[in-house]
Structure 1
Amino acid sequence: MSETKFTPRVFSGIQPTNHLQLGNYLGAVKRFVEMQNSGIETIYCIVDLHAITVWQEPADLQRATRELAAGYIASGLDPEKSILFNQSQVAEHAQLGWIFNCVARMGWMNRMTQFKDKAGKDREKASVGLFSYPTLMAADILLYHTTHVPVGEDQKQHLELTRDIAAKFNNDFGVDFFPITEPVIEGVATRVMSLRDGSKKMSKSDPSDMSRINMTDDADTIAKKIRKAKTDPDPLPDHLDGLADRPEARNLVNIYAALSEATPQAVVTQFAGKQFGDFKPALADLAVAKLAPIANEMDRLMQDPAEIDRILAHGATRAHAIAAPILEKTYKIVGMVR
């Protein structure tokens, strides 16, 4: 069996639930924008089918889908350079997801820690989709013969499952059809923590709005949240080692580094010996300068939902053109009469 040469292609997706926040921007969207200029084909998907693994109010889901699209575009994603669409418009995702349900093994699925975390103690009431969505995630990725996926630490296990599914499919059918996708983990603030608790990841689901910076926050709100962010009484050190046991301080330094395109070490060197009374205003000014224009542009885009829908439909057409032949070949390999 000769080894197939796959065209380099990046795929990633974000669920349209609640508001896009700083952690999503620094850990994902900002990287997506940078990747679209790398010469590699980039496909970015709003994974609305994944969103409904837990209950979503239909009107809220529509708003969140459009808002996330607006966030991508306002952050600099060019819908002509990259393919931007929502998952449910490309039926091949669900179709390949079923094939992969039949490739994946129950033992693999039972090891997925995110289901245990999200389902909580009463797993019997969780949806089947919440249990099986990692196979749909594998389909999202492999439907485009994706070679690279930007992932956070919390999604590494799902990418490992994707690699297992691709390897098992290829082995079962004696083909070299699906690539063994590689993770891309980079950036100084790929894991942005809560502004109220440096040990917890910044989250859209945190009940305290002060724990996060939403990408829709205006300049005054951004500055207020940074001023009130939890810190400690000690000055900033001159070396990163001095932040080892100071999670809130380390988080703010990482955010400053990511927004300023600097290293965390460069930030602590710049502010060595300064108290947070000096550092926080500087971080607030930087955050407002970088994020407020995005919020303003998102607001403008959301005034014209029909244009957002047109952009997503155009992206779906382009995605379908790649996905359809790959699904068709998959069906033939499996033995479906076409």
Structure 2
Amino acid sequence: MPPGFQQDNAMTEATFAPRVFSGIKPSGGLTLGNYLGAIKRFVEMQGGDFETIFCVVDLHAITVWQDPEELKRATREVAAGYLASGIDPEKSILFNQSRVSAHAELGWLFNCVARVGWMNRMTQFKEKAGKNAEKQSLGLYAYPSLMAADILAYHATHVPVGDDQKQHVELTRDIAAKFNHDYGVDFFPLTTPVIEGPAMRVMNLRDGTKKMSKSGESDMERINMTDDADTIAKKFKKARTDPAPLPESLDGLKDRPEAKNLVDIYAGLSGMSAEQVIAEHGGAGWGQFKPALADLAVEKLAPISSEMARLMDDPAEIDRIMARGAERARAIADPIVSKTSELMGLLR
């Protein structure tokens, strides 16, 4: 198993085969943050001693209004990003969430298990809703319950996530534990969040204190996975830095958010640790390091961008791959949801 995959509870180890589930929401386009924080790790997880299931979570996208045609395009683009980055639909199950009705059905069943107090503690709703919480959709408030269903519909034992999503996996564990307790079973695993890697939280190229976002005001703040080689290089060369050169040790990056972000990105793209990056480039000025980072990013990302463009020119092929993945997903999820209903006393 990759680093970070510890079996942290006896029930998971004894009862459930190792299975990974994760997904990305199709809204706003894919960024370098999606690649380093998620997709690159997904690719590395393929072919191990566990089954890998990756999803485009389009039901989560509609918690806020989406233009229907744009949502279709964005869903295909996320799938293209998966495929272009190396997700193999023969090694992994790849599909879009709405093709598998088990997600929505189990989401409702979990709405009846989860507690309102648990939802009130979800920090992402507070951040997204802001002062207009009363005007938000019920779906936006309750979507952590659907996220739990996404995971537990497959009895997933591990979920690769960033720090900002860890709370949702903890909620998934709470729902699984309460269901098991309420119905006197060991039916759902207590899923383990997997948080690892030097660039788990990729920050804004213009403000290192803010996360790189699909919805930032300026396109120069982020690297889009659809950016071509020239655009990638330009953005890194113009990324905000401070006057001092790179330090000789990691301690020297403290209180230097832009410098730390660029070091972390270099580490994530190269497969090195941040310590190794500093050992190799410590003392270098930005006129030396940023071109080196730009060259590395172009080498790693430009082929993905080109392949995404090719795939998007053939949407029927993307749809075929996701439809086949959905068939495989239903074969796993439908019996689990059916058994859940039976345990709850519902006649099927």
Under TM normalisation by the shorter chain, which class is it?
Answer: over 0.9
1:177 aligns with 2:195: no
Among residues 218, 231, 239, which one is paired with 1:229 in the alignment?
239
Q: TM-score, normalised by structure 2?
A: 0.96
1:119-268 equivalent positions in 2, closer than 5 A: 119-268=129-278
Q: Work out the CA distance in 2 between the residues paired with 1:114 and 1:261.
A: 30
Question: CA offsets, 1:299-323, max 9 Å, x none?
Answer: 0000000000000000000000000
Q: Which runs of 4+ in 1 moved over 4 A?
A: none
Q: Work out the CA distance in 2 between the residues paired with 1:141 and 1:171.
A: 19
Tell me the equivalent position of 2:6.
none
Q: Work out the CA distance in 2 between the residues paired with 1:147 and 1:42.
A: 11
Q: TM-score, normalised by structure 1?
A: 0.98
CA displacement at 1:268 relative to structure 2: 1.1
CA displacement at 1:271 relative to structure 2: 1.2
RMSD of the alignment, in Å?
1.0
Tell me the equivalent position of 1:276.
286
Aligned length: 337
Tell me the equivalent position of 1:10.
20
Tell me the equivalent position of 2:311.
301
CA displacement at 1:251 relative to structure 2: 0.5
Q: Work out the CA distance in 2 between the residues paired with 1:102 and 1:272.
A: 54
CA displacement at 1:274 relative to structure 2: 1.1
Question: CA offsets, 1:8-40, max 9 Å, x none?
Answer: 000001100111100000010000000012231
Could you tell me which amino acid in structure 2 is paired with residue 207 of structure 1?
E
Tell me the equivalent position of 2:331.
321
Question: CA offsets, 1:247-278, max 9 Å, x none?
Answer: 10010011111111111111111112111011
Q: Work out the CA distance in 2 between the residues paired with 1:332 and 1:52.
A: 29
**SS of the counterpart of 2:53?**
strand
Could you tell me which amino acid in structure 2 is paired with residue 183 of structure 1?
P
**SS of the counterpart of 1:42?**
strand
Q: Work out the CA distance in 2 between the residues paired with 1:176 and 1:254.
A: 40
Q: Work out the CA distance in 1 between the residues paired with 2:156 and 2:340.
A: 15
**SS of the counterpart of 1:121?**
helix
Could you tell me which amino acid in structure 2 is paired with residue 227 of structure 1?
K
Question: CA offsets, 1:72-110, max 9 Å, x none?
Answer: 000000011000000000001000000000001111111
User: Which segment is superposed worse, 42-51 or 107-116?
Assistant: 107-116
Question: CA offsets, 1:166-194, max 9 Å, x none?
Answer: 00000000011000000100111011100
Q: Work out the CA distance in 2 between the residues paired with 1:100 and 1:272.
A: 51
CA displacement at 1:228 relative to structure 2: 0.6
**SS of the counterpart of 1:183?**
strand
User: Which segment is superposed worse, 258-267 or 210-219?
Assistant: 258-267
Q: Work out the CA distance in 2 between the residues paired with 1:274 and 1:7.
A: 48
CA displacement at 1:208 relative to structure 2: 1.0
Q: Work out the CA distance in 2 between the residues paired with 1:138 and 1:42.
A: 17
% identical equivalent positions: 72
**SS of the counterpart of 2:131?**
coil
CA displacement at 1:245 relative to structure 2: 1.2
